[in-house]
Amino acid sequence: MKSLKKRSLESKGWKVGSAREFLNLSDEEVAYVELKLALSKNLQEYRREKKLTQEELARRLKSSQSRIAKMEAGDPSVSLDLLVRSLLALGASRKHLAQMLS
């Protein structure tokens, strides 16, 4: 967050902090959330590189467009397993998956 915006919010009585602080997340929980977000972002990038719509990807995965949207948005209901399988279906290699996770 930009410091000007942060100061403005704080001057109006808002408390500014991180998701970790707000949700009282452990290191492991933060790592898990960051992992899911990295996979979600990469899924969207891979889909766009392949010039596929969410609907087209959904058909390939025998899923729905709304599920793909949730996957790309990092929805908590989406499993790591589904994200990894979807990336593999789009042609991601195990090496590239490892890079995404590091």
Assess if residue 8 is contained within a domain: no
Assess if residue 89 is contained within a domain: yes
pLDDT tens column, 35-80: 999 999 999 999 999 999 999 999 999 999 999 999 999 999 999 9
Containing structural domain, residue 78 = 43-102
pLDDT tens column, 11-43: 999 988 888 888 899 999 999 999 999 999 999
Number of domains in the chain: 1
Q: Which residue in the block uniquely carries the two structure tokens 């970790």?
A: 20
Taking each helix axis as running N to C, give the angle between helix 65-73 and helix 54-61, from 0 to 180 degrees, rounded to the nearest 10.
110
Assess if residue 22 is contained within a domain: no
User: What CA–CA distances, in Å, run from 65 to 57, 61, 71?
Assistant: 8, 10, 10
Q: Whole-prediction pTM value?
A: 0.79
- Cβ neighbourhood burial of 60 (10 Å; 0-12, 13-18, 19+): middle
Instruction: Reply yes or no on whether the pLDDT at 1 is more than 80.
Output: no
Query: Could you tell me which of 68, 38, 72, 37 has the C-alpha nearest to residue 55?
Result: 68
Query: Could you tell me which of 11, 16, 21, 14 has the C-alpha nearest to residue 1?
Result: 16
